[in-house]
Structure 1
Amino acid sequence: MLEAAAELFAADGYARTTLARIAAAAGVSAETVQGQGPKAALLIAAIEHAAFGISGEDDILNLEVGRALVAARDRDEAIDMLVRAHTRVHQRSARLAEALIGAAHADPELDRYRRNLIASVTLQQRRVLEAYHDRGWLRTDVPFDELVLGFAAVGSTETYLRLTACGWDVDTYQRWCRRMLSETVFAR
C-alpha cells in the first residue's frame, strides 16, 4: 500500500491523489487504506519508507548507512560516500518531496512535518560531520554550524530537484556535489 501511495503521490502530487486511487493501485479496499490514517499520514509514511526504508529512527548512526558513513577511512572516501548516499535518497524520494512541498502550503500538519523533517535531516548531517570534524577532515576557517548548514544546502532535496530540473543527469549532479563539498565543507 505504501508503494502504491508513493507512486501516486510522486506521479500526480498530493492534491490529485485520493485514498480511493491508492486503494485501487494497491489492490485493497478503500476501507483498508482509510484504516492506515489520513492522507497526510500516508504521504509521511511513503516519504520515510522511500527515503530511508524505515520510519521513526532518530539517529542515523543507528542505521547501516550512518555507520558506514562514519567508518570512512579518509576524507575522499567520506565525500564519495556522502555524495552516493544523498543521491540514493534523492533518487528514491525527490518526487515525493515535491508532493510534500506542494501540500505543505495548504496543510498545516504537512507543513509542520516538512519543517521537522528539515531539522531532523540537518541534525543527522551534523552527527556525521561531527565524526569527520573529530578526524580533522573539515575546514577550520569556517564555524562548524556554518559547515553543517552549507552541507545541508548542497545535499538538500531542493538543490537536487533544481539541478536535475535544469537538465543535469545524476553523474553531473554527483560531480558538482563532490566538488562543492570538497571546496566548502572539507579541508583540502
Structure 2
Amino acid sequence: MAKTKINFSLAPEIVGNASSGILLGEFNNWDASKGVKLKKAKDGSLTTAITLETGKVYEYRYLLDDGRWVNDGNADAYNFVSDFQIDNCVIEVPAPVKKAPAKKVAAKTSAKKVAVVKGDDLTKIEGVGKKIAELLVADGIDTFEKLGKATQKTLKGILEAAGPRYNIHEPKTWPKQAKLAAAGKMDELKKLQDSLKGGK
C-alpha cells in the first residue's frame, strides 16, 4: 500500500499552558505507549508528522501533558462518539492520483489573469473542519457573513446531502459564531467556543 507523510498541528490557543503532548488515533490503536510525541514550535503550537496509508480514513485526538484531550481545527470532519460523549477528529488520506501525460499544444495562447476573491476561513468556526468548509463553499456559503445568515434547514440539508459521515453534525451554533467572526468580535467568539464541543 502506498503511504504519504501527513502533518498535524495544534494551534497555540488550544495548546494553552501545555508544554507537550502526544497524538493518538486509530493509526496507533489509541495506545498511549505508542503515542506520537508533539514538538512545541516558536509560535506556541504543537506539531508532528507521521506516515499513513493512502486511501484510508483515520480518527484521532491529542492528549496534552496537562491532562486535557483536545481536537485541532484542521480535521476533515468530526465524528461524535456517543459512548464517551466526545468528538474525534477525522482525516481522510487521499489515494495517489495518476497523472495523465501532458498533451502537446501547437500554439501558445496567453491566459487572462482572473481576480480571485478569497472567502473567509470557515474552519475558524468550532465544529467546521476542512471538508465541511468545502461543502459550505460549494453551496455558495464562503464567508462568515453568509454563514451567519444561513438557516438551520439550509445547513442541515448540506450535511445530509454529503452523507452519514456529515449529517451527524449539529450546526445550531455555526451562524451565531459566524456573526461574531464577521463583526470581528474574536474575544466573544473564543468565549463562546470554549463552552462548546464540536460546535454544539
- TM class, shorter-length: under 0.3
Task: Name the structure where strand makes up a greater proportion of residues.
Answer: 2
Task: Name the structure where helix makes up a greater proportion of residues.
Answer: 1
TM-score, normalization by structure 2: 0.25
Higher RCO structure, 1 or 2 (CA under 8 Å, sep 6+): 1
TM-score, normalization by structure 1: 0.26
